[in-house]
Amino acid sequence: MNILITGCNGQLGNEMQQLEKNYPQHSWFNTDVEELDITNQLAVEQYVAQRQIDGIVNCAAYTAVDKAEDNKELCTTLNTVAPSYLAAAVEKRGGWIVQISTDYVFNGTKYTPYIETDTPCPDSVYGSTKLAGELGVSKFCKRSMIIRTAWLYSTFGSNFVKTMIRLGNEKPELGVIFDQIGTPTYARDLARFIMVAIEKGIKPGVYHFSNEGVISWYDFAKAIHRLAGISNCHVRPLHTSEYPTPARRPHYSVLDKTKVKQTYGIEVPYWEESLKECIEKL
């Protein structure tokens, strides 16, 4: 197949590129905004048609959650409009699309893990535009797979893990939120699953994927410091109210992975094992 990866300079896009060499039977087209402006409908249609693209993994998104509150137009263009252009273009070729979405499509008021059929109720511009992106992709491409993920980190780009390591080495004390609960996702694990889905065949629908387990940001920070060998930084728990942000965060955003495990016969790694792997790479 000819497979297009958008947002190739981001965390997930970089991880996808690391794995591509294991799948030489496919031709991979890695693009970021320099190679393909996905907000330009004509450019998208021409790219997909000329290169005879059979499938798209859309890793591109506007992910600055707080800045999104003041940049709704740009956020909508990247998270809602552009995915529809990609979906419509690949549909013309009878192809498929994998759209990466987020736990932010939920407001986080549940106390049990979210399943795919729970009614979305986003509470931020970011979450609303990502949900609209899901709906657009599903509308314009019959073979569309939506993957909601959460708390993404990687050896690439900027993320919570790298920030905690840097601050842990710079500061004697840190305050980290303890009353927001979820599950981290190592982008390499998500990329591995996407490759499995491509090889076994894209089965349309919505899926949840994060690592196994449940943890707070505070406990995550403590684990990062322990595994990175940082012992001179005191991490203290903060209430969400002590750290106000423009965008509201879900208090509980644990994703249930039953569907993805049953559909594709995969095992999802435990968050701490994946964190250890990432820190060793760093």
Catalytic amino acids?
126
- The Cα 211–Cα 275 span in angstroms is 10
Q: Which single residue is written with the structure tokens 């919570």? A: 160
Instruction: Write out the two tokens for 134.
Output: 């899901």
- The Cα 194–Cα 267 span in angstroms is 13
Q: Using an 8 Å Cβ cutoff, are 255 and 120 in contact? A: no
Query: Which residue, among 141, 142, 56, 68, has the nearest Cα to 102 in the 3D structure?
Result: 68
- The Cα 202–Cα 95 span in angstroms is 10
Instruction: Write out the two tokens for 101.
Output: 């979405």
Q: Which single residue is written with the structure tokens 């998208």? A: 44
Q: Which single residue is written with the structure tokens 């209430």? A: 239
